[in-house]
Amino acid sequence: MSSSSSSVLIPSLVIYIFLFFSVQYATATKIGQGYRLISIEETSDGGLLGHLQVKKTNNVYGSDVPLLQLFVKHETQNRLRVQITDATKQRWEVPYDLLPREKAPVMKPSIGRLRKNPLMVQEFSGSELLFSYRPDPFSFAVKRQSNGQTLFNSSSSGSDNFGEMVFKDQYLEISTQLPKDASLYGLGENTQPHGIKLYPGDPYTLYTTDISAININTDLYGSHPMYMDLRNVNGKPYAHAVLLLNSNGMDVFYRGTSLTYKVIGGIFDFYFFAGPTPLDVVEQYTELIGRPAPMPYWAFGFHQCRWGYHNLSVVEDVVENYKKAQIPLDVIWNDDDHMDGKKDFTLNPTNYPRDKLLPFLDKIHSIGMKYIVIIDPGISVNSSYGVHQRGIANDVFIKYEGEPYLAQVWPGAVNFPDFLNPKTVEWWGDEIRRFHELVPVDGLWIDMNEVSNFCSGLCKVPVGKQCPTGTGPGWICCLDCKNITKTRWDEPPYKINASGMQVPVGYKTIATSAVHYNGVLEYDAHSLYGFSQTIATHKGLQGIQGKRPFILTRSTYVGSGKYAAHWTGDNKGTWEDLKYSISTMLNFGLFGVPMVGSDICGFYPAPTEELCNRWIELGAFYPFSRDHANYYSPRQELYQWESVAESARNALGMRYKLLPYLYTLNYEAHLSGAPIARPLFFSFPNYTECYGLSTQFLLGSGLMVSPVLDQGKTEVKALFPPGTWYSMFDTTQAIESKEGKYVTLDAPLHVVNVHLYQNTILPMQQGGMLSKIARMTPFSLTVTFPSGASNGEAKGTLFLDDDELPEMKLGNGYSTYVHFYATVSQGSVKVWSEVEYGQYALDKGWIINKIAVLGLSGSGKPSGLKIDEKPVTRDSKIEFTTLEHNNQLQDVDDKKTSVMVEVNGLHIPVGKNFVMSWKMGLSP
């Protein structure tokens, strides 16, 4: 369900307001004269601790904090922390129990020891990063040791664009200079019309809001105050990242040569990550915020959902129709239709009676299908509703003036659980357990957790009036409400560009003067709500199932990927939204949330048949692949049009063959943070042509998807970085380019172009209608060398495990990890494996029955096949097939013959080391 009145904001109004504020924001106002460094010393743990004194106070946006504490520490070889906070009293920080990390020292200054003499420029060196400062006015810079490049520099140096650092109770400002040629990515969540690169002049506001993703350049469901900066310095690429760990609302202004943060609370808590490659950056970032959650194998299958499956028989029909259409389906979802009166943890006794739902679940569970339902944070205020009564008894709700704060969502009047309270986490886990005993769901979908409220202000249930009315749109506020403006938390002095319209920060959410556990203000903790609910849900699911939890969340914060997957919220069935989905997906890979996707065919109002064809061809390659539609939209399951069904069979057919690869990428993400879907510059950082590319992407390091994104097109212009690329749907088709080039590819309605890069070994299986079935089929290996290679190397990996286990790790009996290698040299081809913990794969009986080697130089029949050093005799069932590649050669002068050799009829156990070799015929 996932939508409120914010979903119907008029885009033209938003664009007008955006243009109005863009002009306003383009002019920088200088608010203060900054701070002076008055003392600095080394700490016992190798950090720096200093004090800053305000130079001149003013009352713009409130009074300045007179004395600040500066703490600097090289926490690892690649990570530097710079924290600036009030020196005399504790300020709000992201709670350490939500996001575990090293604590900064809390030290009250001894004023007598403060040195008043201005200090000279100093440097504080780590192994990769160097911190330096100027004392008056205080500014700091972070440089890269290897080449002296400045990564961050807060000195205004008389800049017209920004002034000195400002630190007030409800207004913090700091800026950095940037070179013109820096490519920046991140700062989400928002729908970026210009693609993945940050665009100078676009507003970047971070504050979690239930505003439809169709609204471009606005603060959406998540807050990720992190950006990656990629630069090409004298032909060599360098990437680094900057995180401002702060949960308060903020505007970030990127002007091309500078970037300015304007934050309405908290502290400056910067983390700098040295890279130097994009993959290094994400590895270092997720080392701090938490590695991505391991996903169960079935989560990589295809998912079907709709708000408006009115009763169980409709759901049964959907499952049956997917089967009839021969379209793979792993997971069937319910939006709020299964609930009794839209109340969490309930079943509608008429439309989803338990005595009929349980046999249906038994039936789908027996074949390996899964079932997931939605829960929202709003708990219906209802004296006969046990969930609410137990919540009141345990005192779990957010308070306003001592009473549970009253809001309205789908069931009507609700209270919101306070997930910062340990008692709430226990109560929530107990409610999940009770519900699981009622309905054995396989995962939970948590929505509306920005948190969304259909009303604003202080509300009460109207007397003598039904609320909700039961007629008309459910998102119209029907409580009696009045605005809350009496505190500085409800009306902060600086207005962030909330919802793209500078609405009050408490608009359609919890009043920002409401109070959490231990007196924490909603003003400070607002953007953490979805994150804290995600952690509580993860804990609850782990406790009852003892299995690997699957959680899909709408609202995210720094660290959410450690617990959950994400979908990009309420999108529209338009060609523009199809394009935007790529940028949002790639951004979440940077944010450490690799399991991400958009509603395929659009959430509302209605996709065309052609658009749905093209969307499943793209969506089949999202890490999280789900079709989802709005209550008010026509039906759009993939079988509703025969043409879409055909595109789905093609694209999802390939996805299901690639499941071993996707699952291995899931393991690598869990191990190192590596995104599953990546921008091309992750693998080709030297190739500046792809720095802004937002219409293609990679799965892993070398599988490239180039979808059609425009109406009426039957070809696609795709960028091919230097090297050889092989079509996955016809491996005899190759594209080779020495320099990198755009190539126009045929793409009739049912065709999506997917290419595999050279030097790769891709493990695949034979596919099927369910991941469980596909998982039992024999493996094949596709090995790629550069076109016409007489010398070359390739490698790949395969991770297999019992995906029900909570942990994803190597160990005997429950997982197997295989390293594949291949070489070609002097006419000899060799493919081999090195297996770690082979027992699991051996017990499952998995075998490799085909190996295809692409891009070989030579002709004539291969000969001298050996497996494990033993010659293969003629009477074996093993067959060689040799096919010549059709090379669309670009920039290549010497047109060599290039062939593909397939070895079929093999029976190689996946769980054992093997070596296979043969001789190629000589080139003519």
CA separation for the pair 342, 454 (Å, rounded): 15
Residues ≥6 apart with Cβ < 8 Å to 72: 47, 48, 50, 80, 81, 82, 83, 124, 131, 140
d(CA 171, CA 164): 13
Radius of gyration of the chain (CA): 29
Query: Strand, coil or helix: what is 795?
Result: strand
- 294 and 300 Cβ atoms separated by less than 8 Å: no
Tell me the CA distances in angstroms from 749 to 59, 103, 494, 612, 614, one per residue in order.
Answer: 62, 56, 51, 10, 7
Pairing of strands 847-856, 828-836: unpaired
Let me know if 447 is a catalytic residue: yes
Q: Which of 229, 431, 450, 803 is catalytic?
A: 450
The yes-or-no answer on residue 450 being catalytic is yes
Residue 326 token pair: 């021969």
**With contact defined as beta carbons under 8 Å apart, do 85 and 267 qualify?**
yes
Helix (H, G, I), strand (E, B) or coil at 283: helix
Number of neighbours of residue 642 by Cβ within 10 angstroms: 10
CA distance 395 to 415: 11
Q: Which is it for the CA torsion 344, 346, 349, 355, positive or negative?
A: positive
Distance CA 816, CA 300 (A): 19
The dihedral over CA atoms of 27, 32, 38, 43, expressed in degrees to the nearest 10, equals: -50
Distance CA(220)–CA(554), nearest Å, equals: 10
Q: Exposure pattern of 45-66 as b/e (b: 16+ CB <10 Å)?
A: eebbbbbbbbeeeeeebeebbe
Across 287-334, where does the E strand assignment appear? 302-304, 331-334
Q: Count the neighbouring beta carbons within 10 Å of the beta carbon of residue 724.
A: 28
For residues 693 and 689, what is the distance between their CA atoms, to the nearest angstrom? 8
What DSSP element (H or E) covers 263?
strand 258-263
Q: How far is residue 790's CA from residue 855's CA, in Å, rounded to a whole number?
A: 9
> How far is Cα 222 from Cα 244, in angstroms, rounded to an integer?
15
DSSP string, 626-637: EE---TTSPP--
Q: Which residue carries 């308060």 as its tokens?
A: 248
- How far is Cα 378 from Cα 408, in angstroms, rounded to an integer? 8
Which of the residues 570, 577, 617, 803 is marked catalytic?
570
> In the structure encoding, which two tokens stand for residue 601, read together?
């065919």
Q: Which of 447, 522, 524, 736 is catalytic?
A: 447
Distance CA 195, CA 485 (A): 38
DSSP H/E element including 537: helix 529-545
Please state whether 331 falls in left (phi above 0), alpha (psi between -120 and 50) or beta: beta
Cis, peptide link before residue 137, omega less than 30° from 0 = yes
Q: Do the Cβ atoms of 228 and 259 come closer than 8 Å?
A: no
Beta bridge pairs of residue 887: 734
Q: What count of other Cβ atoms lies within 10 Å of the Cβ of residue 7?
A: 20
Q: Supply the DSSP string of 479-525, one letter for each residue.
A: SEEE---SSTTTS-SS---GGGTT--TTTTS--TT-B-GGG-BHHHH
Q: How many helices (H) and strands (E) are present in the chain, helices listed first?
A: 14, 53
Residues carrying an active site annotation? 447, 450, 570
